[in-house]
Amino acid sequence: MTYVYLLAAILCEVAGTAALQASEQFTRPKPLILTVIGYAAAFYFLSLTLKGMPVGIAYAIWSGLGVVLIAIIGLVWFGQRLDSPAVIGLGMIVAGVATINIFSNTVSH
């Protein structure tokens, strides 16, 4: 269940961040409410994740995959373009998360 909770935390955080962008600096109430709910749920699920995974590893995976997913949403939904260095950097984040999950003995498989 640890990875299910972590996935839920990531998806809630990404939803909250996308809603934050859509709130237009807190001027639109519905996206603002979604932002608060998304972040609250993200931290709740992250706290459940920490029962079975060290905080440093959980946070690395949570933040890394969150950054990549929100960059994709920014591109697709908000039309925010990424240059080559940004794409390379995001690829390095994915490689780092994969390295942790495949090779680290800290994460139980």
What is the domain extent for residue 86? 2-103
pLDDT for the residue numbered 104? 82
Assigned domain for 39 exists: yes
Exposure b/e, 3-17, CB count within 10 A at least 16 = b: eebbebbbbbbbbbb
pLDDT for the residue numbered 69? 95
**Number of independent structural domains in the chain:** 1
Assigned domain for 108 exists: no
Answer yes or no: are the C-beta atoms of 66 and 13 closer than 8 Å: yes
Rounded to the nearest angstrom, the gap between the alpha carbon of residue 4 and the centroid of all alpha carbons in its chain is 14
Could you tell me the two tokens for 59?
């946070």
pLDDT for the residue numbered 109? 53
Assigned domain for 51 exists: yes
Assigned domain for 11 exists: yes
pLDDT for the residue numbered 105? 80
Q: What is the pTM of this model?
A: 0.86
pLDDT profile of the chain (109 residues), mean per 10? 96 96 93 97 97 91 93 94 94 91 75
Assigned domain for 43 exists: yes
Please identify which residue in the block is written with the tokens 């990531």: 10
